[in-house]
Amino acid sequence: MKNAPLFFSHTLRQIETAAASLSLMQRAGKTSTQWVLKHYPNAQNIYVLAGSGNNGGDALLTAKQLRHAGKNVFLRLSAPVTQPDAQQALSEWLACGGQIQNHTTLHADLAIDGLYGIGLNRVLSATDSQIIQELQALACPIIALDIPSGLMADNGAGNAVQATHTLSFIAHKPGQFTGQGCNACGDIHLLNLQISQSFYPEPDGYLQTIAPSAIANLLRKADSHKGSYGTVGIIGGATAMVGATLLAGRAALKLGAGRVVLGLLDKILSVDPTQPELMLHPAAAALQHPALTMLVIGPGLGTSQEAMALVQQSIASPLPLLLDADALNLLASTSQLAVAITQRSAATILTPHPAEAARLLQTSTAAVQANRIAAAKTIAERYHATVLLKGAGSICTDGQSWSINGSGNAALASAGQGDVLSGIIAALIAQGLAPLAAVRSGCWLHGRAAEDWCRENLGGIGLSASETIIYARAALNHALATCE
């Protein structure tokens, strides 16, 4: 399993310039046509939507080649062509007898979206949105050239075409794998246009899988014992939210932590009957447990004064600390905590969902979602932490390097999944992974668990957080088997 490199649009422009643009557009048209003919051989009536720029040029050359292949091609040009390469493509289309229409075809077997590519730099006009709505109403498969039109290549924001397939030219873009990109792209296929690897600089980031090298030191030595795998403390469990802490604890236990201590604000439970391995204590006592090597605070914590005191003490602790859920909300509410967290000597891990991230940044959820990579990096820098920004296409960053998690699906949109994820990451850190490796690997395992469950259950409805733990454990052991 290899991480896929991701490139921002300014880096892609450098690659394109280095490798002669018109011939690249010719290759984009040719390879797209070949892909369409191979995968949709029976599509006879094809609607092609072309915009004013080079994405439109790709569409015009694809239209030309499909016409040569005997297809009935209906080409709509949304606006006068502006770019020289695209103007050349338009001349070729007209020279081969192609016509231009200014409306959407009513019936098509297949549609090709070449309205905007990586040049999209602002919100779509009402006219473009209407053109996209008409495209979407065709009720036929849609093939997006390079990126679905309306989707921002660098950050996955925008109201985009919902494509069936995306033919991604030269390299993948971050926006295809996070935010709206997860909905818009359909199946993504890389067409590298035969560009030599020597033209590619260092990737800006990666689409993350699990790296055997990152988890290899989780393999157990014969003479190890439970003390070799750390003791995770998890603080939370306010009234009516004890389940969140239990879920995090069970996840930490099943993903390999040597021991797990739960600190509960509510004293309703003294043992977890279905997971008696967990050691339950009052919250303040658990925080003082001498064996702890890793601390989590937040699952089911609430925002009481007592909870606030526990967050303060946790931040002052010399242990690696993961803050989730209400611990993040308390952190966001108090500037003294924000200062204290930057002065910690041990690692800090923050795992916000977009609304929690917005509170940490004193901004709106929409602003976070408009640029998820930048938001995650800013939180990491501001709080001196390793950050996991949750949501479709989770972002993992230490403020310098970033990656987008490459596993998971909407089955994870269910109660308690964040608690489970905290427990998984804590277990990996307790067993010796560095924070960023633990966040990346934990997030991937959590997503992989959902994929495996969906495959077995033929769908994505009804995955409980408790079941996810079992599948994540299997995914970890399976990944470790490839290291041996």
- List residues binding K ion (CB under 5 A): 55, 113, 144-145, 149
Minimal distance, residue 427 CB to ligand NPW, in Å: 42
List CB contacts of 136: < 8 A, sequence separation 6 or more. Answer: 142, 161, 162
Binding partner selected for residue 122 from K ion, ligand NPW, none, CB under the kind-specific 5 to 8 Å limit: ligand NPW
Binding partner selected for residue 51 from K ion, ligand NPW, none, CB under the kind-specific 5 to 8 Å limit: ligand NPW
55 is in an annotated binding site: yes
AA identity, residue 280: L
Helices 325-333 & 354-361, crossing angle to 10 degrees? Answer: 20
- Indicate the residue among 118 and 185 with the shorter CB distance to ligand NPW: 118
Cβ neighbours, 10 Å, residue 206 = 21
Helices 465-481 & 242-254, crossing angle to 10 degrees? Answer: 20
Inter-residue contact 162 to 186 (CB < 8 Å): yes
Binding partner selected for residue 113 from K ion, ligand NPW, none, CB under the kind-specific 5 to 8 Å limit: K ion
Minimal distance, residue 208 CB to ligand NPW, in Å: 24
Binding partner selected for residue 419 from ligand NPW, K ion, none, CB under the kind-specific 5 to 8 Å limit: none
29 is in an annotated binding site: no
Binding partner selected for residue 83 from K ion, ligand NPW, none, CB under the kind-specific 5 to 8 Å limit: ligand NPW
Binding partner selected for residue 405 from K ion, ligand NPW, none, CB under the kind-specific 5 to 8 Å limit: none
Minimal distance, residue 202 CB to ligand NPW, in Å: 20
Beta bridge partners of 350: 323, 387
- Indicate the residue among 117 and 203 with the shorter CB distance to ligand NPW: 117
57 is in an annotated binding site: yes
419 is in an annotated binding site: yes
54 is in an annotated binding site: yes
- Indicate the residue among 55 and 417 with the shorter CB distance to K ion: 55
Structure tokens at 470: 């079992």
Cα 30 from Cα 310, distance rounded (Å): 62
244 is in an annotated binding site: yes
Minimal distance, residue 461 CB to ligand NPW, in Å: 36
Binding partner selected for residue 218 from K ion, ligand NPW, none, CB under the kind-specific 5 to 8 Å limit: none
- Indicate the residue among 116 and 444 with the shorter CB distance to ligand NPW: 116
- Indicate the residue among 146 and 398 with the shorter CB distance to ligand NPW: 146
- Indicate the residue among 131 and 292 with the shorter CB distance to ligand NPW: 131
HSE-up (13 A, CA, CB side) for residue 357: 29
- Indicate the residue among 113 and 128 with the shorter CB distance to K ion: 113
Minimal distance, residue 353 CB to ligand NPW, in Å: 29
146 is in an annotated binding site: yes
Minimal distance, residue 161 CB to ligand NPW, in Å: 13
Binding partner selected for residue 352 from K ion, ligand NPW, none, CB under the kind-specific 5 to 8 Å limit: none
Minimal distance, residue 445 CB to K ion, in Å: 34
Minimal distance, residue 14 CB to ligand NPW, in Å: 10
Binding region for ligand NPW (CB under 6 A): 16, 21, 24-25, 28, 51-58, 83, 116-125, 128, 145-146, 169
- Strands 205-208 and 187-191 come out as unpaired
- Indicate the residue among 80 and 97 with the shorter CB distance to K ion: 80
Which residues line the annotated binding site? 54-58, 113, 117-123, 146, 149, 244, 300, 353, 390-394, 418-419
Which residues line the annotated binding site for K(+)? 55, 113, 149
Which residues line the annotated binding site for AMP? 390-394, 418
